[in-house]
Structure 1
Amino acid sequence: MAAKSVRDMVLSLAAVLAAGIVIYLFIPHSGGNGVRPVQYQDSVVSARRAAPYPLLAPQGLPSGWNATSVNFDGSNPGAAVWTLGFIDPAGQYVAIQQSNAPADSVIHDATLDGQKTSATTTVDGTVWTNYQGSRYQAIVLKGAKGTTVVFGTETFAKLGDFAAKLTDH
């Protein structure tokens, strides 16, 4: 009786392993870096029509930049939020977030509670304020119609380079 139980357990284990191998063979494997690019150009056009501020998006990014997320939430006209995220050629995350919500709230959300530093980053003659968070660093520009936050895992200088590519047309 004990021999039959062991034999049954071995057969059951073999059946489970065989099923696992079959499933593994039929599941697609990307073999890539895990980045799933998204198309964002149509979203930019739509969001620019709806945004209560000049909506910014990068133009002329070099090859190797992949958009990974795009979202415009205009459900609250007093706190419309635009977010566009990328993975750069070095594999670092860089994103822009804009909103006409109160600046402190926008900065808190984008930087994950980042703190203002004494340093600044100059982009095309405009001074942006640096923020350091536990996960992201950011450069912030407050304007009359809203707040722009460029944030990510890149250096402040690289965030500034990205900000220099932003345009509202």
Structure 2
Amino acid sequence: MTDQREAAGRPGRYQRTIAGGIGSMIVLVVAVLAFVVFRGAFRDNAAVEVDPVDYLAVVAPAQESGFDIVYPPSLPTGWKATSVDFDPGAHPDWGVGLLTDTGKFVGVRQEDDDIDRLLATYVDKSPQEGALVTVDGAIVPEWREWSDQGGDHALAATVDDYEVLVYGSAPVGDLLTVVRSLTDAPVTG
């Protein structure tokens, strides 16, 4: 005896209903949610501790190459340098990334480049310029202030023929601490 569907030239199939499709979707969603909960329960979410770097070990060779590098000679208690970058090419540039004692980021960049490009790279594509800030005791006294809507801030000044940018998610007071400390004196010790 042949099945009527086979006789009609159609292969045998089970009946599909809208209720069956909805039921299948519900089962799938429950399975995905159960997986997410299970994975979250056994995931290791421990904070990753970033090892400090010795940025002064990069400053000394940069100075020896003839680059008048501007750098913080020391860091406030609890702060640490987490990254350092030096490109000794025809137009040398350098940068150091710092974490404050509260875990906020402060970066220092020194480049022979346009300040607008530096701001677009390190702060925001269109940051808002603030007031001109006078910083007594700094390597240069006047710094331009910038901020973005995400809460990042920056202070910029021209030192010799290089743009120096002090920027990050840290409060402006922490950025000013770095600005006040910047020097181009030879590394000692």
Q: Is the pair's TM-score, using the shorter chain for normalization, greater than 0.5?
A: yes
Task: State the 1:146 CA deviation.
Answer: 0.8
Q: Which residue of 49, 52, 58 corresponds with 1:37?
A: 52
* Aligned mates of 1:60, 1:38 — CA distance in 2: 13
- Are 2:183 and 1:167 aligned? yes
* SS of residue in 2 equivalent to 1:57: coil
* Aligned mates of 2:159, 2:76 — CA distance in 1: 28
* Aligned mates of 1:132, 1:118 — CA distance in 2: 7
Q: Which residue of 63, 74, 99 corresponds with 1:48?
A: 63
Post-superposition CA distance 1:92-125 (Å, at most 9, x none): 1111000112332223222232524232332226
Larger radius of gyration: 2
Closer, same or farther: CA 33–57 of 1 in aligned 2, 3 Å: same
Pairing 1:86-125 to 2, within 5 Å after superposition: 86-124=98-136
**Alpha-carbon contact 1:81-1:100 (below 8 Å) kept:** yes
Decide which moves more: 126-135 or 139-148.
126-135
Gaps of 5+ in 1: 1-28
One-letter amino acid matched to 1:40: Y
Count of residue pairs the alignment pairs up: 138
The sequence identity of aligned pairs, in percent, is 26
**Alpha-carbon contact 1:130-1:156 (below 8 Å) kept:** no
User: Which protein has the bigger helix share?
Assistant: 1
TM-score, with length taken from structure 2: 0.64
Q: Which residue of 147, 163, 177 corresponds with 1:132?
A: 147
One-letter amino acid matched to 1:62: P
TM-score, with length taken from structure 1: 0.71
Structure 1 vs Structure 2 CA RMSD: 2.4
Q: Which residue of 79, 85, 90 corresponds with 1:65?
A: 79
